[in-house]
Structure 1
C-alpha cells in the first residue's frame, strides 16, 4: 500500500508540474528561448536536457548546434531510418511510443481506458470522418528526446490541411488518464492524404495524420504546403493542396515532441508487433493495407 500511495503521489506531482501551470505562457517562452542563436547556450541547454532524458545524438548529422531549436529539429544521418519497401505496408510516419490503438468503434476511439472521444471532435466540424468509421487508429507519442520529424507513410497525395487552435496540455500517459478528450482540446492539424497507385488494391484510400501539440511544443512545421502552424498563427485554417509524396518523404517536424494520431479506413490492420507500449521508429511497418477492395 505504501508503494501504491507513493506512485499515486508521484503522478499527482507530475500532473501538477506539467499541467497546473501557465501552459501557454511557458510554451511561448520555450518557443522564444529555443530560437536564441548562441552555441554556448545551446551546449549548456543540451547538457541540462540530457540530465532528464535519454537524449542520444549519435544518429544525428554531426554538427555544432547554434540553438536549442536546431537540436530539437535535427536531421539524421542517411540510412538511419530505413523505410519498409513492402507496398502492402504503411510505414510509421515518426518515431514514437504506441499508445491507444486498434479498431475505431463507429467513430469512437480512446485516448486511455474509459476516456473516449469521437473522430469528429478530433478532426473538427469541417471534416468528413465517415471514411474512417470502423477503421483503425494508432496513437504515437513522441518524447522530447526522440527524432521529431515526420514523414509520408506511403506514396500518396497530400490533399488538405486543417489547422485547429487549442490548448497545450501535456500528452503523457498521466494526463491522458485524467483529462477527458485531451487530444480534442489541444492545438492540432489534420493532414488528409490519398494513397497512390503503388498501394495496389488500396490505391485511392484515404489516410489521415493528426499531429497534436502539447506544452512547450505548440509549433508544427510543414514543408509542402509551406506552413508554420503555432498558437499565434494568423493564416487560413483550411488549406486545400495537391502535393504528391513518396513513401518516407519528410513532411515536416514538431519543435519539441508530442503525438501523431494515424487514422485508417476499414480493411486495414495493425502490423505484427504493433501495440500499446511498443516503441516504433519512423519507416518501420505500422499497418497492413487491405489486400482487396469491397
Structure 2
C-alpha cells in the first residue's frame, strides 16, 4: 500500500505546472537566502564554486554554478572518452540488440530513449553509461569528446524524479521524461549525450545554443536542479575502463574508457 501511495504522489508531482512553480521560486531573489541552508543540507563543497556564495543572486544561479579553473582535470589522451558530469554510475554496459539492460532493475530500448530517431541504428550494439546527479553534485554537463554537433533534439515529456524509488518502481522514467539529446561526431564515430529532466527541473539548457563544436571538457549544457545523463557510444567504437563499475562515484573529466574505430559493420 505504501508503494502505491508513493507512486501516486510521484505521478501527481510529475506535472509540468508544479515543476514550473518550483522553477520560478528558484529563480527569485528571495531564494538566495536559502543557499547557505542548501549547502549545509547537501554538504556541497562551496569552495569549488567560481564565485563567493554571497555573489549568487538566486538558488538557481548557485545551482547552475561554474567551478573555479582547474577543479576538474580533463583526461586529454587522444582516445579517451571522459565523464561529462559529476555523479553516480547507476548503470553501465554493452547495449544488446537495441536493449539497455538492468537500469535499476528495468530494461530500456534505444528506440524509446532516442524517441525513434534515425540515429538509433548507430547505438543498437553500442555502450551505455547512466549517470545520476544528486543535489550535492555540480550540475553542468561537459563534452566527453572533441567533436562537432550533428543534431540536437528536444523531446517534451514528464518530469518524474530520477531517485531510487522512481527509477525502481516507475516504468521507463528515462524514456518518459523530458530529454535534450546532443549527437556529437568525433574522430572515432558518434556519441549521444542524453540529458534527462526530472522533478523540479524547470529546464535543461545549452550553455551556448550557437556553439556547434566542442573540445573535450568544454561546457555543453546544464540542469536547473538534479537529474540524469545517459551517454551512448556508437556500435563497436568503445572499450570501457576495467576500473569502473555500477555504483561508482565519478567526476567530470574522468577517464571512462578508450574510443577506437568501429570494429562492427554499422548501417548509416
How many correspondences in the alignment? 261
- Are residue 74 (structure 1) and residue 58 (structure 2) matched? no
Matched, 1:53 2:68: no
Among 157, 161, 170, which residue is 2:148 paired with?
157
* C-alpha separation in 2, matches of 1:21 and 1:222: 25
Q: Aligned residue for 2:201?
A: 217
Unaligned runs of 5+ residues in structure 2 are: none
The answer to whether the Cα contact below 8 Å between 2:14 and 2:160 also exists between their aligned partners in 1 is no
Among 249, 252, 255, the alignment partner of 2:224 is: 255
8 Å Cα contact 1:187/1:218 also seen in 2: no
User: Does structure 2 retain, via aligned residues, the 8 Å contact 1:119–1:129?
Assistant: yes
**Which of the residues 257, 282, 286 maps onto 2:256?**
286
Across the aligned residues of Structure 1 and Structure 2, the Cα RMSD in angstroms comes to 2.3
Comparing 57-66 and 101-110, the one that deviates more: 57-66
Equivalent residue in structure 2 for 1:37, among 20, 29, 37: 29
Residue pair 1:224, 1:243 contacting (<8 A) in 2 also: no
Name the SS of the counterpart of 2:205 in structure 1: strand
Matched, 1:100 2:100: no
Q: Once the 2 structures are TM-superposed, how far is the Cα of residue 117 of structure 1 from its aligned partner?
A: 1.6
Rounded to whole Å, the distance in 1 between the matches of 2:227 and 2:128 is: 17
| Deviations 1:204-251 (CA, angstroms, capped at 9, x unpaired) | x0100000000001411113424xxxxxxxxxxxxxxx8121111111
Q: Which residue of 1 aligns with 2:18?
A: 26
State TM-score, norm by structure 1: 0.82
State the 4+ residue runs in structure 1 displaced beyond 4 angstroms.
11-20, 291-294
Which residue of structure 2 aligns with residue 146 of structure 1? 137
- Residue pair 2:14, 2:159 contacting (<8 A) in 1 also: no
